Structure 1
Amino acid sequence: MPNAAQPAAGYREAFAVPGSVAFYTAGWLGRLPRSTLSLGAVLLVAGETGRFSLAAMVAAVMVIGSAFIGPLWSRAMDRVGQRRVLAAGFAATLVSALALLGAVTAELPLWTWFVTALLLGASTVDIGSVTRARWSSLLPAGHDRHSAFSLESVADESVYVIGPPVVTLLAAAVSPVLGFAVGLTAGLAGMAALILLRSTTPAVHPVAAEVHAPSAGRFRLLAPLPPGIALLVPLFLGIGLVFGAVDLTAVGFADEEGVPAAAGLLLASFAVGSVVAALVFGLLRLRRALELRVGVAALAYAVVVPAVALMPSIGAASVALFAAGLVTAPLLISGMGLVESRVDRGRLTEALAWPSTAMSVGVTIGSALAGVLIDAAGGRAGFAVAVVGAIVAGVFGVVTLAAHRARSQRVARLTQGD
């Protein structure tokens, strides 16, 4: 049972940490490209060419670059420290973004658009893993980081509430170039602030698995996933499938209903539900094991999210999406907390980047599959992909809990045998 006697203490304790307000604010700004960069690229290319299919392909290449290279930035942070890697990421992002902007606006050959989009995606640093690693470093060992990770979930969701509408408005009212640039500029400002905030930067930990290896001291590009999170990666992939499908299907559904502007209502309902749930969930003092929280939250996710596909109208769908948002935040927070609890400190930043990477891949696949279904069967058909994603997340959440219980039983038997 949660302890009601100290409802908001967790947030007060988190922000009482010296420097936490500054790096949390910087981290929020640094996240904005996560919600605006692909959209800005779509609006930029579509605005210059009028070809949305080409714009979608350029954005997809960008996401692919981010998915394959993103965790390597985080892995490098664990090896050499956040500040050096953030500085390199800042420079790479700025140069590749200017290159993509120049290639599109100067009407260079199309292959240059795809190359620069790939480089821009590959230069993207996962800022959420940066700030979560700072919380883990600054909060005392054994301290409940539940509230801090809830705040991180609020940051993750709120950039999707604020960023895309601002970018879309600026692109339509002023210029697609401005729409592309505004989220990027805010992200670079956040990265610069994190570089300057030296006092909250985590210390570099030796990577235990590599200390005694023949290649110790060298950066290994193809090192395996950090132990203990293999079952959680497909869980976050399933969540990404839901996000990608909902984003595209909301547009198709609203357009089919004759009220295109209602797409914003649908997406806002989903995001607001998740933000509200994150804030409330972060107030709770939960005593149960993280594996149990993940299993229960995943099961709720698998039950609630599919209801969206059954809704007959925009109003009903917005209510269902709000409910879907309410079950999304507890799963994200508990899942991130479980990742943080399972990994060696020397690979923490990398481990925290894998959920974001899995969700990015899921978003790309989910939106692509939803687009195919919408073209074939109508505006609502894409919600079927969200149903599949929710079930995938639910299955792997329950499997994670089952694996934990089986492991606990084995340990108990061995203990009794001794």
Structure 2
Amino acid sequence: MQLPFTRPYAAILVRDGAWRFSLAGWFARLVRSTAGIGTILLIATQGQGYAVGGAASGAVVIGSALAGPFWSRAADRSGQTRVLPFALGASAISSAMLVLSIEFALAPWTWIVTAFLVGASAIDAGALVRARWVHLLSGPRERHTAFAFEAVLDEFTFVIGPPLVTIIAAAASPVAGFAVGVGASLLGGLALLIQRRTAPVPDRTGATRATRGVRSWLPAGVLGLLPGYVAVGLIFGSVDLTAVGVSRAVGSTAVAGILLAIFAIGSVSGGFLFGAIGAACTPLRRLTVAGALFAIVMPWFAIAGSPIGFAIVSLCAGLATTPILIASSSLIETLAAREHITVAMSWPSVAMSVGVTIGAALSGAAIDGAHIYGGLWVPLAAAALMAGSTALNVLVRGRGLAESA
């Protein structure tokens, strides 16, 4: 017996090859949630503390953000089946280099360099899968549901990945924990590679001179949505750091995991519900509703002065976060040309990486200078940025629709 809100998801997953490439894509992007924590655990065994580990983890994020659009553009131009072997090979080699440089106690700068290469070799499997959905589904409602489903799967990678690596590292070794994350991603990538029938075919005949320049890297209209993704990244960075601060204050590291799990539960629930009920709206209306909800909920972090208060607001914040990611992805899909859809879908990860880095840095500085909840002014900035970004997009898109009518 199917629940009403699960029917739209069931309808798309039974399409030809859909559940197979979606499942493969989930495993393929697992490394993006495990590489950072896995690197920190590896370096901690060398007695270097968390400063070098944090720098190496940041190098993974930076490498992923910088190289992601290059991999995605190559997939658009040459096809996923041609690009994936190079990406998977680079990921395997760079991961081995990182482990060996740490295990043989080479200079710490080599750890940071190889960590950067690990991030740079991690192709954006989420963008590859979303491109396959666009290729497979013709109806806008179906694509909205597919993007909602993938947003939920994105959240699940961060719910399952880091705890899994941590548990394996404690039970076996940090090398084993790191290897499981990388190995699962390589297997997922191979599964995507062999599913050639659902991979989009590059359209080299439709490319014009105008779309070979900047627009082939950053399609028109996508740039205006990136501040909203930065705002989401600010929330992720702030919540992560504050959760760690709260756990230290109460003397239990498990508290951080519980608080982050509560946020993730809200994100998954919000994604499922928004994917089911938002399909009847236009992409612009979805963006308006989701952006307003985000801007209204996030300032409540300012009054979260206790672990319980932080947990309650985190649950609400999770509910308000995934809908904006879904709505923005739906709008990007309508703005980008099919021959550039993969690279268009990769820019959100870049913007969120920037937001996470800034949010974590600002929250960390505020926590050190004030108290454990001092970093929760960052969500206020995120809410303001989201409100401004949403209003500008609604104004510009609304005017464009009115002029075309």
Give yes or no for TM over 0.5: yes
Verify the 8 A CA contact 1:32 1:163 in the aligned structure 2: yes
Verify the 8 A CA contact 1:43 1:176 in the aligned structure 2: yes
Across the aligned residues of Structure 1 and Structure 2, the Cα RMSD in angstroms comes to 2.0
> What is the Cα deviation at residue 114 of structure 1?
2.0
Verify the 8 A CA contact 1:242 1:390 in the aligned structure 2: no
> What is the Cα deviation at residue 390 of structure 1?
3.0
Verify the 8 A CA contact 2:148 2:275 in the aligned structure 1: yes
User: Residues of 1 paired with 2:403 and 2:13: CA distance?
Assistant: 40
> What is the Cα deviation at residue 236 of structure 1?
0.4
Counterpart for residue 142 of structure 2: 144
> What is the Cα deviation at residue 174 of structure 1?
2.3
User: Residues of 1 paired with 2:208 and 2:215: CA distance?
Assistant: 17
1:315-372 CA distance string (max 9 Å, x none)? 1211111111111111111111111111000100000010111112211221122221
> What is the Cα deviation at residue 222 of structure 1?
9.8
Counterpart for residue 393 of structure 1: 386
Question: Which ranges of structure 2 fall in alignment gaps of 5 or more residues?
Answer: none
| Match for residue 355 of structure 2 among 362, 372, 389 | 362
Moved more, 38-47 or 134-143: 134-143
Q: Secondary structure at the match of 1:113?
A: helix
User: Which is richer in helix?
Assistant: 2
| Match for residue 126 of structure 2 among 125, 128, 141 | 128
Counterpart for residue 60 of structure 2: 62
Verify the 8 A CA contact 1:151 1:282 in the aligned structure 2: yes
Between the aligned residues of both structures, percent identity stands at 40
Verify the 8 A CA contact 1:296 1:398 in the aligned structure 2: no
User: Residues of 1 paired with 2:93 and 2:214: CA distance?
Assistant: 23
User: Residues of 2 paired with 1:388 and 1:144: CA distance?
Assistant: 34
Correspondence list, 1:236-251, <5 A: 236-251=229-244
Correspondence list, 1:14-413, <5 A: 14-140=12-138, 144-206=142-204, 208=206, 210-212=207-209, 224-284=217-277, 286-412=279-405
**Cα distance change of structure 1 residues 322 and 207 upon mapping to structure 2, 3 Å threshold:** farther
Aligned AA (2:105) = E
TM-score of the aligned structures, taking structure 2 as reference length:
0.94
> What is the Cα deviation at residue 407 of structure 1?
2.0
Verify the 8 A CA contact 2:293 2:320 in the aligned structure 1: yes
User: Residues of 2 paired with 1:164 and 1:390: CA distance?
Assistant: 27
User: Residues of 2 paired with 1:285 and 1:322: CA distance?
Assistant: 20
Verify the 8 A CA contact 1:207 1:346 in the aligned structure 2: no
User: Residues of 1 paired with 2:123 and 2:386: CA distance?
Assistant: 25
**Cα distance change of structure 1 residues 165 and 96 upon mapping to structure 2, 3 Å threshold:** same
TM-score of the aligned structures, taking structure 1 as reference length:
0.91
Aligned length: 403
Aligned AA (1:382) = G
User: Residues of 1 paired with 2:194 and 2:259: CA distance?
Assistant: 38
Q: Secondary structure at the match of 1:205?
A: coil
Aligned AA (2:308) = G
Q: Secondary structure at the match of 1:401?
A: helix
User: Residues of 1 paired with 2:215 and 2:137: CA distance?
Assistant: 31
Aligned AA (2:322) = A
Verify the 8 A CA contact 2:5 2:273 in the aligned structure 1: no
Q: Secondary structure at the match of 1:339?
A: helix
> What is the Cα deviation at residue 102 of structure 1?
0.5
1:218-267 CA distance string (max 9 Å, x none)? xx799641111111111101101110111111111221233432111110
**Which ranges of 4 or more aligned residues in structure 1 deviate by more than 6 Å?**
none
User: Residues of 1 paired with 2:365 and 2:203: CA distance?
Assistant: 46
User: Residues of 2 paired with 1:206 and 1:6: CA distance?
Assistant: 41
User: Residues of 2 paired with 1:292 and 1:44: CA distance?
Assistant: 46
1:169-191 CA distance string (max 9 Å, x none)? 22233211122111111111110
